[in-house]
Chains A and B, each alone.
Chain A
Amino acid sequence: MFLTNTEEVPGKKIVACFGVVSGSTVRAKHVGRDIMAGVKNIFGGELTGYTELLSEAREQAMERMRDQAEQLGANAIVNVRFSTSSVTAGASEIYIYGTAVTVE
Chain B
Amino acid sequence: MIDLYALLLLITLGYIFGQWNERRHFRSINEREQALVNLVTTNSRRPVGELDNISDVLLVTGGAVISVDYFKRIVTGLRNFFGGNMRAYETLVDRARREAILRLKESCPDATQIINLRLETSSIYKGNGNQVGSVEVLAYATAIYTD
Contact = CB atoms under 8 A, between A and B. Distances in A.
B123 A47 contact: no
Contact of B61 (A10, A43, A58): A58
Contact of A86 (B18, B66, B118, B127): B127
Contact of B46 (A6, A34, A38, A44): A6
Contacts of B122: 54, 84, 92, 94
A34 B14 CA distance: 19
Contact of A54 (B67, B126, B138): B138
Contact of A89 (B13, B57, B127): B127
A76 to B, nearest CB: 8
B1 interface: no
Contacts of B18: 43-45
Given A6-B45, A7-B45, A44 B127 contact: no
Interface in A1-32: 2-7, 9-12
A2 B18 CA distance: 42
Nearest to A103: B57
Interface string B14-31: 100110011001000000
A50 B120 contact: no
A91 B120 CA distance: 17
Given A6-B45, A54-B65, A88-B127, A45 B21 contact: yes
B144 interface: yes
Interface string B49-91: 0010010011101011111111011000000000000000000
A50 to B, nearest CB: 4
A66 B118 CA distance: 20
Interface of A: 2-7, 9-12, 34, 37-38, 40-47, 50-51, 53-55, 58, 62, 80-84, 86, 88-92, 94
